[in-house]
Amino acid sequence: MHHYNLCCVGFGNVGRALVRLLETKRSELRERYDIEWRLSGVMSRSLGYIADLDGLNPAELVAGTPRHAPLAPETTFEGWLKAADADVVFEMSSLNPLTGQPASGYLRSALQYGAHAITANKGPIVHAYRALRDLARARGRAFRFEATVMDGAPIFSLFQEALPAVQVRAFRGILNSTTNLILGEMEHGHSLEAAVRRAQQLGIAETDPSADLDGWDAAVKVAALVTVILDTPLHPDEVQRIGIRALDSAEVQAAHAAGTPYKLICTARRGAHGVEASVAPERLQPGDPFALVGGTSSVVHFETDVLPGITITEHNPSPTTTAYGLLADFIAAVRT
C-alpha cells in the first residue's frame, strides 16, 4: 500500500468536489490501485495555510468549518508544503488569464519541493507550460492538467497515453459551456440579456459574463490545446476571436428551427506558416453532429496524421466531472 499526503491550493467549488470524490473513491483507490491518502494541507486566500500530518478532516473543510487554525502569518508557500509534507499538490485557484500567476508559481514550488503537481487552472498552461513540463521531468515528478479543458473528459491524456506517435493537424470544437447554454436559451426566444440571467441563476455564468460572451474563455482553452497538443506555444490574444454579443435572438431562433443552429466554434489548424486558431459564432451546416451538443455539454473533433478523425463529447459537466479530471491525474501520476 502506498500512502500519499495530498495538498489543495484553492478550495472553492472544484476543491470541495475533489475532496468529496476522493472520499467516495477511497475504498476503490485502496483495492484497485493500492493507494491510501490523507489530506495534509489546504490553502486559499481566506483560509490561509492549514496543515496537519495526521490528516485534516475533509468533511469539516467541505462544510467550511475547519478545526485547524492556520499556520503563522509569516508562513511561506514553501513552508506550508514542508509542514504538510506534500506528495501531491492539486492547484485549483482562480484563473488569471493575463499572467497565469500566482498559480504557475505555486506549481513551480510544488515541483521544486518534490511533489507531483496537478492543476485545473488553464493559466499556467498558456503561460508556463514548457517551463513546468521541463521542471517536472528534471525533478522526476508529474505535471498534469487534464481538468483544464473539458473537465473530466480525456483530452490531454488521450494523446499523452492512449494515442502515442500521432500528429494532430487540426481540431474543431465547442469548448465554452456558458455560451452554449446561452445560445440554447436564445433558440427558445429569449434575448441575450435574459439568457445570461438564466445562466447566472443556474450558477453557470459569472456575475460579469464578459469572458464568456466575448470568447475569451474559449480562446484560453484553444491556446491551451494548441500549446500542448499541437506543441506550439500560443497566447490567447493570438487566437482570432469574435464572441456572441452581436447575434440576434430572432436569427438564432430561426437558424435552430432550420436545423442549422449557431454555435461558438473553436478551431485550430497547422499550416505552412504555423498554427491558425479562432473562436467565432458559426451557423452549422445541415447534418453537422455538433448541432446535437446542447446545454453545457462540449465537444472536440481532432484530425490527425493516422486517425482521420476522432471526436470526444462531454455531456453535462459539473464540478464533480472537473474533480474527476484531477483524480484521474492523481492516479496516473503516482502509478508512473
Ligand X SMILES: NC(=O)c1ccc[n+]([C@@H]2O[C@H](COP(=O)([O-])OP(=O)(O)OC[C@H]3O[C@@H](n4cnc5c(N)ncnc54)[C@H](OP(=O)(O)O)[C@@H]3O)[C@@H](O)[C@H]2O)c1
Residue 239 CB, nearest distance to ligand X (Å)? Answer: 17
* Secondary structure (DSSP) of 189-243: T--HHHHHHHHHHTT-S-SSTHHHHTTHHHHHHHHHHHHHHS-----GGGSEE--
CA separation for the pair 308, 42 (Å, rounded): 44
Residue 13 CB, nearest distance to ligand X (Å)? Answer: 4
CA separation for the pair 290, 294 (Å, rounded): 9
Contact 188, 260 (CB under 8 A): no
Nearer to ligand X, 102 or 294 (CB): 102
Nearer to ligand X, 5 or 322 (CB): 322
CA separation for the pair 163, 65 (Å, rounded): 44
Contact 83, 52 (CB under 8 A): no
Give the nearest residue (CB) to ligand X. 12
Nearer to ligand X, 39 or 247 (CB): 39
Q: 216 to each of 156, 183, 281, how far by Cα in Å?
A: 21, 16, 13
Nearer to ligand X, 11 or 216 (CB): 11
Residue 18 CB, nearest distance to ligand X (Å)? Answer: 9
Residue 44 CB, nearest distance to ligand X (Å)? Answer: 3
Nearer to ligand X, 155 or 334 (CB): 155
Residue 320 CB, nearest distance to ligand X (Å)? Answer: 9
Contact 55, 98 (CB under 8 A): no
DSSP strand pairing (274-283 vs 262-271): antiparallel
Residue 134 grid coordinates: 521541463
Using CB under 6 A, list all residues that contact ligand X.
9-15, 44-47, 92-95, 102, 120-121, 147, 151, 319, 322
Residue 203 CB, nearest distance to ligand X (Å)? Answer: 9
Nearer to ligand X, 15 or 236 (CB): 15
CA separation for the pair 322, 320 (Å, rounded): 5
